[in-house]
Amino acid sequence: MANKVQPNYQDVKITASQIANDEIDLRELFSVIWGGKWVIIAISALFAVCSIIYALSIPNIYKSEALLAPAGSESHSNGLAALAGQFGGLASMAGINLGDSHTDKTQLAIEVIKSRQFISDFIQKHKILPELMAADKWDMATNKLIYDSEIYDVEKKEWVREVKAPFKPKPSMQEAYKVFIKIFHVKNEKDSGMVTVSIESLSPNLAKQWVDWLVADINQVMKQRDVEEAVRGQIFLEEQLRKTNVADMRTVLYQLMEQAAKTIMFANVREEYVFKTIDPALVPEEKAKPKRALMAILGTILGVILGVMIVLIRYFSKRKI
């Protein structure tokens, strides 16, 4: 006869005992937590109060943004594209980009506006270093920024902060760039091609003003770059024109000089050279951050978790002893 498998009643008893112990442990756990409820409540209340005080101590930050679109120049682009196939190589030598696309120019402008050079020039041009590096809070009643007296003396217009070498009382452009890039955001929607430029500031008026300046400056910088490039191209083409007597070649050179002249004319006529403003920046009426209610809720939750951990650690440490 085949051996019959006999049930191991001992294993069954052990399994049942483990389940019972697990249930007892779970009940015991809840009992311990309930027993330490006042400790948990006290710690949670402390964290809630601290998080509220901290949230209220943080000044309001306002955000202003502008919606931009790549500035169109279809007629000018078509004229350049007509010559691109035949004379692209010579045009490149002259610094004239016949195959220029708005997508490439828009992307270039975005990279330029985020560059250290542009931002440093922007800060120095508009003299906003004190507002950027020393502002402490904004007085809504007077609509003025209040500066940190330990960093900047408003009356004497002197930097008085104490720093260690190689830093100096007056912040460098490297320091200013690191601060500015945290409050400055550029978002490019690849599907629509729209670009959003935004600034966060203690003052809603400054946030709006800086966005306006940024848009105006990037258009001016990109315009100046193209004009200078076209002027250099004209000089190069004029030199080539004096060196050749071939009629066909002279015709090509005249056409390229004409396109360079159109580039200069187009740049000087158009203010919104790279970006066209679709939705201009406004003075924000509501703060963008901090989210004080969320900070208070998270602080309370953290207090509850910490309180439960303390109660359990105390219980199990006593149990081992």
The full DSSP string for 242-257 is HH---HHHHHHHHHHH
What residue ranges in the chain does DSSP mark as E strands?
62-70, 135-139, 144-147, 152-153, 158-159, 184-188, 195-201, 275-279
Same domain as 156, residue 52: no
- Tokens standing for residue 91: 């045009």
Shared domain for 127 and 51, answered yes or no, is no
Do residue 174 and residue 260 come from a single domain? yes
18 falls within a domain: no
Split at pLDDT 50, 70, 90, the class of 294 is: very high
Residues 194 and 75 in one domain: yes
* pLDDT band at 205; cut points 50, 70, 90: very high
Query: Are residues 120 and 94 part of one domain?
Result: yes
Pairing of strands 135-139, 62-70: unpaired
Q: Are residues 311 and 255 in the same domain?
A: no
Looking at the structure, do residues 267 and 311 belong to the same domain, yes or no? Answer: no
28 lies in some domain: no
Residue 39 lies in a domain: yes
Residues 147 and 217 in one domain: yes
Residue 65 burial by Cβ neighbours in a 10 Å radius (0-12, 13-18, 19+): buried
- Range of 94's domain? 62-279
Claim to verify: residue 66 and residue 185 sit in the same structural domain: yes
**Per the structure block, which two tokens stand in for 64?**
């202003």
* Contacting residues for 171 by C-beta, under 8 A, at least 6 apart: 129, 133, 159
- Per DSSP, 172 falls in state P
Please identify which residue in the block is written with the tokens 């078509």: 78
Same domain, 296 and 261: no
* Number of domains composing the chain: 2
Indicate the SS3 state at residue 21: helix
Cα distance between residue 48 and residue 28, in whole Å = 28
Q: What is the pLDDT of residues 59-118, one digit of tens each?
A: 999 999 999 999 864 434 444 444 444 444 444 544 455 444 445 788 899 999 999 999
Domain shared by 318 and 220, yes or no:
no
Q: Residue 25: inside a domain, yes or no? A: no
Q: What are phi and psi of 135, to 5 degrees?
A: -65, 135
Question: Using one digit for the tens of pLDDT, what is the confidence trace for 82-93?
Answer: 444 444 444 454
Give pLDDT tens digits for 244-278. Answer: 787 777 777 777 777 777 777 777 777 888 999 99
In a domain, 11, yes or no: no
Lowest mean pLDDT among 63-77, 176-190, 195-209, 224-238: 63-77
- The verdict on 74 and 101 lying in the same domain is yes
